[in-house]
Structure 1
Amino acid sequence: MTTDFDDVAGLGNPARRALREAGYSTLEDLNGVAHRDLLALHGVGARGLERVQAALVERGLSLTDAPARTDRSAVVTDSHTGSNAPDLKTHATAVDPAEFVASLPWPRRVEQGHRLLSLFGAATGEAPVMWGPSMIGYRQAHYRYATGREGDTFRIGFSPRKAAISLYGLQNHPRSDELLSRLGKHRTAVSCVYVNQLEDVDDDVLLALITHAWESEPRVR
């Protein structure tokens, strides 16, 4: 059985294209290939190869001379620094989330934004807080990576954007995959779940997903 590059989590399109153009058709074709040779390909970066190596190792395979994987895990606690870390671009604001939702120029997003405020409120029992110009978060959390980088963020939340609704903090918990499989039409990225319209998903499953994430150990988005 072989693995298409499209099935390697987190591997970007430029890297997939570069690997195929270099003559590699599947992930398994990279077994034994020198890490430095792949890194020399235009479009292939260190982070992409880290994901390739992780996928190979899961299958009992490996690149040659691959560097040790960087520890990118973070310790997350339900607290805050008191002042945001200097590298943090998104900050909590004093804007009222309900007023922000009501001011959206897209009527359907206004309706859906209020529904999400209700769902997240029911799951968390806490008041929402605006983060940056368009994200609504619940409970401030502090994160610190092994590299020493740290900052403040929110545990879970959402953003009712024009193109799609972004749901944050709902992945990588014990039952996340099972609940997402029953959610309805959606797509996922590294840090969030995208839903085009709330009508595309099951409200009960979404509430269960939010509740499960809230009751699980906090994680960095």
Structure 2
Amino acid sequence: MAKNKTFETEGSVIDFINSIADETKRADSFRIAEIMEQQSGYPAKMWGPAIIGFGSCHYKYESGREGDMPMIAFSPRKAAITLYLSIDFPAKEKLLEKFGKHDTGKGCIYLKRLSDINLDVLNEMIAASIVHTKSR
């Protein structure tokens, strides 16, 4: 069975965020980390080289593959900030309608900058994602 590429590391979240060249993305990343820490009650930890996660949960797929992943996370990628929230928490689509300028992928939400989105909705989505993940 393949080994997971993303796992909690001892890397410094502050050093990682400070290494972001784009000033706005760096400031937004510190703010997202603060919001996610407040909402989750967990400290920010590095997961792999570029994901900042909060808390952890164990998963197991029908295929037998299993591992640990952050309960919620984000990554300040070059093209966009990627939010990793529960894929199917209740009211997700309704909240995304009020979220602001973003794109979605298979299990991610992409945004260019915090000023493009509604922070109250972000807080609601994080809280709903955590509740949903804990209930599973």
Alignment partner, residue 87 of structure 1: 3
Closer, same or farther in 2 for the Cα pair 1:211/1:150, shift >3 Å?
same
* Aligned counterpart in structure 2 of residue 127 of structure 1, from 35, 38, 43: 43
Deviation at 1:123, TM superposition (A): 0.6
Alignment partner, residue 28 of structure 2: 112
Partners of 2:77 and 2:134 in 1: CA distance: 24
Q: Which structure 1 residue ranges, 4+ long, deviate > 6 Å from structure 2? A: none
- Check the 8 A contact 2:86/2:132 in 1, yes or no: no
The sequence identity of aligned pairs, in percent, is 35
Q: How many residues align?
A: 136
Over the residues paired in the alignment, what is the CA RMSD in angstroms?
A: 1.8
Partners of 1:217 and 1:89 in 2: CA distance: 21
Alignment partner, residue 114 of structure 2: 198
Partners of 2:133 and 2:51 in 1: CA distance: 21
- Check the 8 A contact 1:94/1:129 in 2, yes or no: yes
Letter in 2 for 1:153: M
- Check the 8 A contact 2:75/2:83 in 1, yes or no: yes
TM-score of the aligned structures, taking structure 1 as reference length: 0.58
Deviation at 1:106, TM superposition (A): 1.4
- Check the 8 A contact 2:9/2:47 in 1, yes or no: yes
Give structure 1 stretches of 5+ with no counterpart.
1-84
Closer, same or farther in 2 for the Cα pair 1:105/1:202, shift >3 Å?
same
Alignment partner, residue 40 of structure 1: none
**Higher relative contact order structure (alpha carbons within 8 Å, sequence separation ≥ 6):** 2
Larger Rg: 1
TM-score of the aligned structures, taking structure 2 as reference length: 0.92
Deviation at 1:99, TM superposition (A): 2.1
Matched, 1:151 2:67: yes
What SS does structure 2 have at the residue aligned with 1:93? coil
- Check the 8 A contact 1:170/1:193 in 2, yes or no: no
Decide which structure has greater strand share.
Answer: 2
